Amino acid sequence: MSHLPDLPELPVTFRPSRTRAVLLTAGVTIFVVITTVAMLLEQLSPGERASFVLTAALLLGVLVLLSRPKVVADESGVTVVNIAGTRRLDWAEILQVNLRPGDPWVFLDLSDGTSLAALGIQPGIARQRAIDDARALRALAEARSIGDPEQHHG
């Protein structure tokens, strides 16, 4: 299959690294600022301080969840980790990898007739990286679900 680009070494993890860095940095910064303010405001009761810190921790938790998405490809298939769930797919289950202009992330067309959002590849902050990652995942899916399995190791 000479029309396929060079396949990445497996296992490979696709994740929106810049978006993740921004979310985690913002989360830690928000937590530190709110906690510091709570400790510096002398008129707050201990319960009010605790509620400030709890609110900061909840905000940090939400941003950590938002930074969770990734797509991990290995020899036997793909694991899609989204915000609230994880799904394991065999290569044969993936019919097509789509990232159309305007899509917020990659969509995987599956053999059961459904489509699965793969939030680990999203053009948000790093558009070209997402396009390259989508092409790499598409090439891996095509190489592993079509043709001679001996080509998978080359």
pLDDT tens, position by position, 7-24: 888 999 999 999 999 999
Give the predicted TM-score (pTM) of the model: 0.82
Name every residue whose Cβ is closer than 8 Å to that of residue 81 and which is 6 or more positions away in sequence.
68, 69, 70, 71, 72, 120
Q: Is the pLDDT of residue 35 over 90?
A: yes
pLDDT in tens, 75-125: 999 999 999 899 999 999 999 999 999 999 999 999 999 999 999 999 988
Q: Is the pLDDT of residue 39 over 50?
A: yes
C-beta separation of 2 from 135 below 8 A: no
Q: Tell me the residue ranges of DSSP E strands in 75-147.
A: 77-81, 86-90, 94-98, 106-110, 115-118
The DSSP symbol for 12 reads E
- pLDDT value at position 68? 96
Name every residue whose Cβ is closer than 8 Å to that of residue 63 and which is 6 or more positions away in sequence.
23, 24, 26, 27, 30
